[in-house]
Structure 1
Amino acid sequence: MVKIIRSTIIPASIEDVWDVLRDFNGQDRWHPALAASEIERGRDAAQVGSVRKLTLPDGSELREQLLTLSDVDTAYAYCLLDTPIPLFNYVSHVRLLPVSDMDHTFWQWEGRFDTTLDQQEAMSHMIGTDIYETGFGAIRAYMGLGG
């Protein structure tokens, strides 16, 4: 199993960052890796068990399911159900913590997954850099906080 952890400090309050990240159906509004997001079966995006269908810019699709959501802990977890790439048993955790002396937010994004041996390096780079680290910069831009 591969484990990827990335973290950053966002120069905004935890409440403001959580307002954006909490929306399980809103990632397509700020992450450049996504063209569209849709919650299946008309469920509420905040309902544990809801499934989002994500469309990538090339038209391919993947599906993710919300496993946990906690406003108290400012955290959620989701898993990958279907994907066109060799990621198996993928589970991700998003966690926010306040940086209280500066009214900033610590954001940790963690993922664990299996893949074929020949794809470990490529999938690790894709998740850690192309998804997580790119997402950090994208949130800053979306919130008007600079790169």
Structure 2
Amino acid sequence: MGKCYNSVVIEAPCEKVWETICNFHDLAWAAGVVTEVEAEGDLKGDQVGAKRIINDAFHETLLTLDDQARTFSYSIDDGPEPLAKDSVSNYVGSVRLLPITESNTTFIEWQSTYESPDDNAIAEFCNPIYEALLSALKQHFS
């Protein structure tokens, strides 16, 4: 099983960061990384089962959302190689926010697990994307 893991400290209170990222259909904070988010179906961005297409390439489904724990998880159902549905299975990404009480800032981790014949190719593809997303989020609050 392959894994990706990325984390960063955001210079903003956990509540504000969560308010910014908890809507599965709103990635406005990721300008420059995400150019388009298309909501699919009738479910809202805070409803488990919500579907989206990012940058006309990544098809994702919201699997869990917990406002109290400030975490959500999603599956990547299809995407460009090496994330095409025939190349990877059981791809689950998760995002978790934790308050850093000493400084009233936020620790955020973005991780994923997946099954693929070439786990390294997926990690090499996904880690830079997660790094860019976390960098964009950090920039959003600076």
Q: TM-score w.r.t. structure 2 length? A: 0.88
Query: Matches of 2:116 and 2:32 in 1, distance apart?
Result: 24
Map of 1:10 onto structure 2: 10
Map of 2:131 onto structure 1: 133
Contact (CA 8 Å) 1:2, 1:124: kept in 2 or not?
A: yes
Task: Specify the SS of the correspondent of 2:24.
Answer: coil
Give the root-mean-square deviation of aligned CA atoms: 1.5
1:72 to 55, 68, 73: 68
| 1:115 Cα offset (Å) | 2.6
Question: Which structure has more RCO (C-alpha within 8 Å, separation ≥ 6)?
Answer: 2
Identify if the C-alpha distance between structure 1 residues 29 and 42 changes in structure 2 by more than 3 Å, giving closer, same or farther. Answer: farther
| 1:31 Cα offset (Å) | 4.8
Matching residue's letter, 1:32? G
Query: Matches of 1:113 and 1:101 in 2, distance apart?
Result: 35
Gaps of 5+ in 2: none
Identify if the C-alpha distance between structure 1 residues 31 and 124 changes in structure 2 by more than 3 Å, giving closer, same or farther. Answer: farther
Matched, 1:82 2:59: no
Task: Specify the SS of the correspondent of 2:41.
Answer: helix
Alignment of 1:9-88 (within 5 A): 9-27=9-27, 29-55=29-55, 60-87=56-83, 88=88
* Cα-to-partner distance string for 1:40-68 (whole Å, 9 max, x where unaligned): 1232111100111112xxxx422100000
Contact (CA 8 Å) 1:39, 1:51: kept in 2 or not?
A: yes
Query: Matches of 1:11 and 1:90 in 2, distance apart?
Result: 30
Query: Matches of 2:116 and 2:34 in 1, distance apart?
Result: 22
* Cα-to-partner distance string for 1:117-144 (whole Å, 9 max, x where unaligned): 3xx333212212x21111111012222x
Contact (CA 8 Å) 1:44, 1:50: kept in 2 or not?
A: yes
| 1:29 Cα offset (Å) | 4.4
Task: Specify the SS of the correspondent of 1:48.
Answer: coil
Gaps of 5+ in 1: none
Contact (CA 8 Å) 2:20, 2:29: kept in 1 or not?
A: no
